[in-house]
Chains A and B, each alone.
Chain A
Amino acid sequence: MAIRISQHGIEVSRTNTAVPIRVSQVVVETIRLATAHTIERVSQITAETVRLRSDSPLIRVSQVVMETIRRGIPSNNRVFPVQHGNRVWYTGAGTRVFPI
């Protein structure tokens, strides 16, 4: 250890710097609300202000689809194989035959 006096005062320094360290894990742990609250703003640490929008409307939308109803071909020209004892079949283009 060495001691030096200067205009900044007394400085002490170690000359024996061979002190090893071992770092085995580095992680970050964050604490936060589990719900969908949004952190709107974090100010300087000295103010320590965290405002949550817990008073704002919150919605969740999980599916959006659109359904269209319309008339036309092929909705009215079904083609089917012969059914049950030749009771009915469709020949296409909207023609139906009922040889009962």
Chain B
Amino acid sequence: MALLFLDSCDHITTTAQADLKTSTGTLLDAFETSGGRFGGGAYRLDGSADSIIRGVSSHTTIVAGGAVKFVNPMDSMTLFDEIISFREAGVATHVTVGVDRGFIRAKRGVGNGTDLGASATRIIYDTLWHFIEAKVFLSDTVGTVEVHVDGVQVLNLTVQDTINGGGGIVDEILWGRLFNASDTRWDDLYIDDANILGDSRIDLLMPDGDGNYTELGTTFGSATHAFNVDEIGPDGDTTYNNGTAVNQRDTFTMGNLAAITSQVIHGIQQVTYGKHDGTATNHRSKLRISAVDYNGASLALASTYGYHLEIWDQDPNAGPGAWVESVINGMESGYEEL
């Protein structure tokens, strides 16, 4: 079981940056830098084709979630509208979880697909942030669809046909919008390959100082490495750290998590916004916990800037084991040129 994708929506400022992180080559979403679930940014879907699409590896069991707010009144809404869709890219939409006059409803296919079932009561209301999570198991005979809203199970369908042709896998998640409630906001998106995580939040931590390694160049910005990579909304070629040789490393001290009570930390995601400078080059994310380095996978850099994600479901310095807040607050995050 593993997290596949996180998006706090808090470190990007433009639609283009949002599309680099979420979409599979389509520019169908807009982005707001304020009005997020706990402040910060959020996606704004208000055009007829707007959606957020994220590709993942192929799965037959998959979970997708996010915080959604329908900004406009839903009173006139009469149609089933696509909220979270489980898709096989370019082939089929296997299962769609939608909102039907405030009820949660699941269908095989899209809006005109086969009805699988609905929640017993009205769950979704406009102008409020709801945290919606859906878990789907694909099968022609024993498929399942489970939906939680604000941490409470509202739909649990079993023994279903959840495969809508194609190869019977999900490799793409779509977060959609209500057509009648024209302004739909999404924040705190996640994808997991096994577990519904419960009513969760995604918090952003930024660099606040140089850490143990300061080996890349700082020709193009501040002499303090951290100050070249700490912008909300990356500034690209304005300030950056430039690597000139393999195995050069930078690590940074990061800000601290805001205190919350009764917390369960599901995982962290390192995000690096970088590119190579003419010669195809790889890099990897790096954690430094209690003076021990832990390396992520080797990721290729392109000739244009892109986001590179490394997820750590567990603290590698704890066995591995569960994350605790003090470790996250005390560790360094960075990268290494390969």
Chain A residues in contact with chain B, CB under 8 A? 35-36, 38, 53, 55-76, 78, 80, 83-84, 87-88, 90, 98, 100
Q: Which residue of A lies closest to B278 (CB)?
A: A58
Interface residues of B (CB under 8 A from A): 3, 6-8, 11, 73, 75, 122, 125-129, 131, 150-151, 188, 190, 197-207, 216-217, 219-220, 228-231, 234-246, 250, 252, 254, 257, 260-279, 281, 283, 301, 305, 323, 328, 333-335, 337-338
Q: Are A63 and B231 neighbours in the complex by a CB distance under 8 Å? A: yes
Q: In the complex, what residue of chain B is closest to A70 when comparing beta carbons?
A: B265
Taking CB atoms, residues of chain A closer than 8 Å to B220 are: 36, 60
> CA of A56 to CA of B281 in the docked complex: distance in angstroms?
10
Contact A65 B274 (CB under 8 A): no
A10 to B25, CA, bound (A): 83
Most chain B CB within a 10 A radius of its CB, from A36, A60, A76? A60
Cβ–Cβ < 8 Å partners of A62 in chain B: 228-229, 231, 234-240, 273-274, 305
Tell me which of B127, B129, B202, B279 contacts A58 (CB under 8 A).
B279
A-B contact pairs, 21 of them (CB 8 A): A36-B219, A56-B245, A56-B246, A60-B220, A60-B242, A60-B277, A61-B229, A63-B234, A64-B230, A64-B271, A66-B268, A66-B328, A68-B269, A70-B201, A70-B264, A71-B200, A71-B201, A72-B261, A73-B260, A84-B73, A88-B125
What A residues does B128 contact at CB under 8 A? Answer: 78, 80, 83, 88, 90
Residues of A close to B129: CB separation below 8 A: 78
Q: Are B201 and A73 in contact (CB under 8 A)?
A: no
The verdict on A60 contacting B244 (CB below 8 Å), with A67-B7, A68-B205, A70-B200 known, is no
Complex Cα–Cα for A59 and B244 (A): 7
Given contacts A58-B243, A59-B337, A60-B237, contact A67 B6 (CB under 8 A): yes
A59-B276, A75-B131 are known contacts. Are A64 and B335 too (CB-CB below 8 A)?
yes
**A58 nearest CB across to chain B (Å):** 4
CB nearest neighbor in A for B245: A56
A61 to B301, CA, bound (A): 10
* A54 shortest CB reach to chain B, Å: 8
Q: Within 8 Å CB of B252, what residues of A?
A: 64
Are the CB atoms of B264 and A58 closer together than 8 Å?
no
Q: How far is the CB of B309 from chain A (nearest CB, A)?
A: 9
What residue in chain B is nearest A72 (Cβ atoms)? B263
A71 to B228, CA, bound (A): 31
The answer to whether A58 touches B244 (Cβ under 8 A) is yes
Q: Is the CB of B219 within 8 A of A69?
A: no
B267/A60 in contact, CB under 8 A: no
CB distance B217 to A66 under 8 Å?
no
Q: Given A65-B11, A80-B128: A36 and B277 within 8 A (CB)?
A: yes
Q: A68-B328, A73-B260, A73-B262 are in contact. Are A59 and B283 (CB under 8 A)?
A: yes
| A61-B198 contact, Cβ under 8 Å, with A36-B277, A78-B129 | no
